[in-house]
Structure 1
Amino acid sequence: MAFADAPIHDLIEAQVQATPDAVALILGERQLSYAELDRQANRLAHRLRELGVGPDVLVGISLERSLEMVVGLLAILKVGGAYVPLDPAYPRERLDYMLRDSGIRLLLTQSSLLAQLPVSEQVRSLELDRLIDWQDRTDIAPPQVHLNPDNLAYVIYTSGSTGRPKGVEIRHGALTNHMLWMQNELKLAPHDRVLQKTAFSFDASVWEFWLPLLNGAQLVLASPALSDDLSLLWSEVAEHQISILQLAPSVLQALLPDVKGGQLDSLRTLAFGGEGLSAALVEQLRQQWNGQVYNLYGPTEATIDTSSLLIEGPVDTAIAAIGRPISNVRTYVLDANLQVCPVGSAGELYVGGDSLARGYHQRPDLTAERFVPDPFTPGARLYRTGDLVRYRADGVIDYLGRIDHQVKIRGLRIELGEIEAQILRHAAVREAVVLAKETANGTQLVAWVVGGQGDELVAELKALLGQDLPGFMVPTQWLFLEQLPLTPNGKLDRKALPQPDIGHAHAAYVAPATELERQLAAIWADVLKVEKVGMSDDFFELGGHSLLATQIVSRVQKELGHHVPLRAMFELNTLQALAQYIDGQQDTRIDEAKVDRLSDLMAELEAL
């Protein structure tokens, strides 16, 4: 089916005509039929049109996961606009930059969020929880809008190497191409249910929203409780009989031990992406479940997924390959001179075809740098991914790593240059380098700083970064140097940087005294893979992060019989504080000084 016949919202409208009374959307006890969803989206689309929204007009949307969120996203597409997701959990300064950079003049939100959003007088806001009348069942036709494949569907902001996030402009044609490929690949049926759990500020969320609605299947919005405690995932999968689920491999690694009998019975397909999928993890999964496993790969600039591998047998390498290109996508492995690398030789992956973004919003120089002329197809472009890969003889692509300073932390894309630029804003800092280090607990961010030192400066730098960056982009380890090591030709010698002491306590060791304290210390030591844990040791300084916190909460419940909310785990980040909380001695009110950090950590969990 050609794009001219079917932008995504037209495909959904066709499904509405075919199954108007079928359940389209589920959130807890609330449900919307296809006809009800379409009716409310049409009504809102006409309102947006009255306010000047049309093709290539960007509309901000900042809501918690809700029925209103889906109505708002669909309405923006129906009127021809492009949605710009603004995660309300992001730091205020980051949201302010995204609002200003995108140039939006209209923001869809909810009344409870309006006061905390940095909205100027130039931005009009619509509070969908007050605007949408769920009792109004008057049918209304969708607005008539003419779109071409190059019109924008959405703009998602990703980490940027210059110190500011950059907006990636995704075309309607690219979105349609991906959705039709995925529909053909996964073959959803009306009985299927897809769990929408990925934060909508990440492009992996896009197919979770639209794929089920193209097929008459059911879109299940993850409950607010899951955002607070990811250990509830399997019970939610079982309760809602989810059949299609997307996960980062590190999330599965953390949660697989918690699967109880029968909780995976409804699942037929697991899709992985965002980071390497190990053969060992696939084998662990196969011991409990034997459904379809897909390994998906793709940068935001190439519309969600560039390549796909259906894993039908044992994985024959340590890390699963990223497969073959999806429909209407071209992939090349090229050297520095844009010459094709021989099969088996490593080179940079370039992507072309129908999946390419239009470019970076208001960044023509960066667009020209990353989207280069295609030497093999006159008039076309290729996107330079920065990923080091190689082709196998059978046409499957192996992922080998990055060739630049972009990394992924638990599946979340990060430009190290953005973090360095933020550190250099501090008046005491002269130079800064940030690298990702692999540890027993996964990837950790480490910062080397020239200028100043001490715990007070570390606290100031963390606070400074927390103003603009999500929590997962704030380094956990800080080292202070007199000067950065240089190579003979004057460049930074990364190999000569002193290595951090990750996973070792920095506070004076205070031994656990009570039986509860000793039990908690044993759980912490096992999860964090450290020799011992003292009462004053900080969970995050020992290498802890959101997924490990989830493991600790689960084991405390299972082994000790104590329920500790995940939010409390982030607040009570020393062993002593956690023990006091369980004993009922700790005030459970959240310290206002830590609210921003807590929100960032929860946003990281929701994104995974």
Structure 2
Amino acid sequence: MELTEAAAEARLDRLLLRQWEREPDLPALIHGDVVVTAGELEDRVLALAGALRDRGVVDGDRVAVYQPRSIEFVVSVLAVVFAGAAHVAFDVGDPPERTRHEIEDCAPRLVITDPHGAARLDPPVPVLSLDGRRLPPPRTPRPHTDGAPEAPAVVLFTSGSTGRPKASIISHAAVASRMVAFQSGHPMGPGDRVLHHTTCTFDLYLAELYWPLLVGAAVVIAEPGRQRDAAHLAQLIRDAHVTTLCCVPSLLELFLLDRDGDERYDGLKYVIVGGEALAPDLVRRFHARSTASLTNIYGPSECTVFATAWTCPRHPDPDLVLIGPPIPDTTVHLLDENRQPVPDGQPGEVYIGGVGVADGYLGRPELTAERFVTGVPGTEGRLYRTGDLARRHADGALEFLGRIDHQVKIRGVRVETGEIEATALRCPGVRQAAVVAAGDGSDKRLYAFVVPEPDADRAALPDEMRERLGEWLPQAMLPSAIAVLDALPLTQNGKLDRRLLSERALAERPASPTPLPAATDLSTPDRMEDLVSGIWRAVLGVPRLARDEDFFDIGGDSFRAVQVMGAVQDALGRKVPLDVLLRRPTVQMFSAGLLALTKNEEPSR
């Protein structure tokens, strides 16, 4: 099927149904050895959509989906759309309390999950539990596809500066428009395969599902919890003949660092990166190892996946990576503080308009009015005020310059430091809190500074906070370090001095890594844990850590994981799969896995 400009004004369910009925025998979903054809996917989606309608789902409703990455997850989100509702997908790896609050906030008609998810989440709304049994035939067997293209299809939560996550309402037409833009710049169809590995709280997952299914390509589903596992993803790319990969630049960096330097990725046709800055050096190194095109995309969730795109040239390799001109159905305006256009070459705030702009924030009229603006001179319709800075080059391509507020990107995840601060104030013993990001690129980390209550135990407070924050915040929002201060620094006009806090955060980071510990007798659990603890402390730059602390909760990321694995392999004198760390991210569990490997045993999962 060709996605034409007309498709940008259509509903997703109509477009999908047309494609599935035209070519029902094409593979649609691939998960391990299981292949679901387009016709089989249609049957499963329509059955679940009918079950949702039978349980009271009506046009305009919202339905939450709480499932790990799987065939069932894909069926669920599509069935919600076919039932006339908007899907709100939640990451099963997020703290349950946070997810419950978000479910209360979006007030879905029900939650689709499985027995394990229902027990873990205990949601405040009715549950449709899918336990592997076939659903009874629905009383409403035909799909519900006669709604308007402007109707909501997706609700997506992002971090909120007030401490309350905000949910963007995205229409069928907005998603369809973006899929048309992807297809126009990167044509694919039957025979192509797209890797689905992105977490459902990052809007790039919409492209991994809807784009291939709308054009007859197949979705290759990565194992849940292994989206950081470069070895697993590389194996899938090879074995399943993946042709399109969407990811954040830090994951692309991990591929190049973790894999053999001679390994190539010539089976790929397209690699699309977004969510964080793309460095020229990474572009050069990727081009040296793949014939695939590399496209840098930009756009906040409020504008549905992306608003601009720039395919990185090979000859010559770029010294500067741009975010490109606007995609079809999209306008980008660079305005000054008076909402007047800035001259080309001058920095201005990015305002985005067009079909892909969300309908606003769910239940947040004041915030919607603040960020989704109308009446800007020389523009038409609503514009989303991004808070990003950019400059326009003579050829029309944009250069991203950073943020004008306190929002940051950590490993591709958009983080409002205000949400972390508000959450920190919920911790017992905390009177004031401030959070800053320090470092560049993949080395950027979050630092929390707190003023304790007079009766608080200052020495114990950081560890107590870390435990509480881990119950309430996703991994990407957890501070790498927590410092206790007598008072927060203020500027001359009495405002919080974030610049001074950022300087202090950088100053407190170790100037050079602590020497890695030498390997000794590693035949006992205690000695293996000593080695692992020493390596982690050296790589992470922390003075101490507990046996049960999660590597990724205390500042670990893809790059530091590669450093850890290199040091461990040098100590053991053997290759160790990165999966051993990803599935066992505490000192105790990782050490047990390594000890099993040294004894030629299969590490327990």
Letter in 1 for 2:372: F
Letter in 2 for 1:291: A
How far the C-alpha of 1:263 sits from its partner, in A, is 5.3
Secondary structure class of the residue paired with 1:143: coil
Letter in 1 for 2:487: Q
State how far apart, in whole Å, the 2-side matches of 1:466 and 1:542 are.
10
* 1:536-558 Cα distance to aligned partner (Å, 9 max, x none): 99967985334422553367458
Letter in 2 for 1:111: P
Is the 2:118–2:127 contact (alpha carbons within 8 Å) kept by the matching residues of 1?
no
How far the C-alpha of 1:465 sits from its partner, in A, is 1.2
State how far apart, in whole Å, the 1-side matches of 2:371 and 2:563 are.
39
Which residue in 1 is equivalent to 2:132? 129
State how far apart, in whole Å, the 1-side matches of 2:545 and 2:109 are.
51
Q: Which moved more, 1:249-258 or 1:88-97?
A: 249-258
- 1:146-185 map, 5 Å: 146-185=146-185
Letter in 2 for 1:288: R
Letter in 2 for 1:234: A
Percent identity among equivalent residues? 35
Which residue in 2 is equivalent to 1:596? none
Q: Which moved more, 1:463-472 or 1:143-152?
A: 143-152
- 1:362-441 map, 5 Å: 362-376=363-377, 380-438=381-439
Is the 1:234–1:263 contact (alpha carbons within 8 Å) kept by the matching residues of 2?
no
Calculate the aligned-residue CA RMSD, in Å: 3.6
Letter in 2 for 1:252: L
Residue 459 of structure 1: which of 463, 468, 477 is its match? 463
Is the 1:256–1:285 contact (alpha carbons within 8 Å) kept by the matching residues of 2?
yes
1:560 lines up with 2:567 in the alignment: no
Residue 28 of structure 2: which of 19, 24, 35 is its match? 24
Secondary structure class of the residue paired with 1:560: coil
Is the 1:423–1:429 contact (alpha carbons within 8 Å) kept by the matching residues of 2?
yes
State how far apart, in whole Å, the 2-side matches of 1:400 and 1:415 are.
18
Which residue in 2 is equivalent to 1:572? 587
Letter in 1 for 2:575: G
How far the C-alpha of 1:262 sits from its partner, in A, is 5.7
Which residue in 2 is equivalent to 1:549? 561
Letter in 1 for 2:246: Q
Is the 1:196–1:205 contact (alpha carbons within 8 Å) kept by the matching residues of 2?
yes
Letter in 1 for 2:177: N
Which residue in 2 is equivalent to 1:349? 350
Which residue in 1 is equivalent to 2:322? 321
How far the C-alpha of 1:278 sits from its partner, in A, is 0.6
Is the 1:230–1:550 contact (alpha carbons within 8 Å) kept by the matching residues of 2?
no
State how far apart, in whole Å, the 1-side matches of 2:568 and 2:173 are.
49
Secondary structure class of the residue paired with 2:460: helix
* 1:125-156 Cα distance to aligned partner (Å, 9 max, x none): 232633448xx9x9x96324322232100101
State how far apart, in whole Å, the 2-side matches of 1:176 and 1:510 are.
51
Letter in 1 for 2:46: N
* 1:91-145 Cα distance to aligned partner (Å, 9 max, x none): 011111011001112111122322111223x423232633448xx9x9x963243
- 1:157-556 map, 5 Å: 157-224=157-224, 226-227=226-227, 229-260=229-260, 264-313=265-314, 319-376=320-377, 380-438=381-439, 442-451=443-452, 452=456, 454-497=458-501, 498-499=504-505, 500-503=507-510, 512=518, 514=520, 524=535, 528=539, 543-550=555-562, 552-553=564-565, 556=568
Q: TM-score, normalised by structure 2?
A: 0.87
Residue 44 of structure 2: which of 40, 44, 50 is its match? 40
- 1:104-123 map, 5 Å: 104-120=108-124, 122-123=125-126
Which residue in 2 is equivalent to 1:59? 63
Secondary structure class of the residue paired with 1:365: helix
How far the C-alpha of 1:426 sits from its partner, in A, is 2.5
State how far apart, in whole Å, the 2-side matches of 1:398 and 1:108 are.
41
1:92 lines up with 2:99 in the alignment: no
State how far apart, in whole Å, the 2-side matches of 1:581 and 1:506 are.
28
Number of matched pairs: 584
State how far apart, in whole Å, the 2-side matches of 1:503 and 1:41 are.
53
* 1:145-171 Cα distance to aligned partner (Å, 9 max, x none): 322232100101111111121111111
* 1:467-524 Cα distance to aligned partner (Å, 9 max, x none): 21012211111222111221221112223333352247999x9954617689978995
Letter in 2 for 1:13: L
